Amino acid sequence: MNENDRGLLIESIQLAENCPPSPTFSVGAIIADAGGNVLATGYSGETAPHDHAEEAALAKLDNDDPRLVGATLYTSLEPCSKRSSRPKSCTQLILETAIPRVVFAWREPNIFVDCIGAELLRDAGREVVEVPDLAYLVRKTNSYMPGVAE
Q: Give the Cα separation of 28 and 10 in Å (integer).
A: 10
pLDDT at residue 112, as a whole number: 59
Question: Span 107-127, mean pLDDT?
Answer: 83
* Strand partners for 102: 73, 128
Q: Where are the domains of the chain?
A: 5-141
Beta carbons of 57 and 47 less than 8 angstroms apart: no
Q: Cβ atoms within 10 A of the Cβ of 46, count?
A: 21
Measured in whole angstroms, how far is the alpha carbon of residue 77 from the centre of its chain? Answer: 5
- Beta-strand runs (E) in the chain: 28-32, 38-43, 72-77, 101-106, 127-130
Provide mean pLDDT across the span 30-37.
Answer: 96
Q: pLDDT tens across 40-98, in order?
A: 999 999 999 999 999 999 999 999 999 999 999 999 999 988 877 788 999 999 999 99
Superfamily of domain 5-141: Cytidine Deaminase, domain 2 (3.40.140.10)
Q: What are the catalytic residues?
A: 54
Most confident of 17-21, 22-26, 80-84: 17-21
Q: Please tell me the distance from the alpha carbon of residue 98 to that of residue 71, in angstroms, as a whole number.
A: 8
Please give the average per-residue pLDDT across 27-44, as a whole number. 97
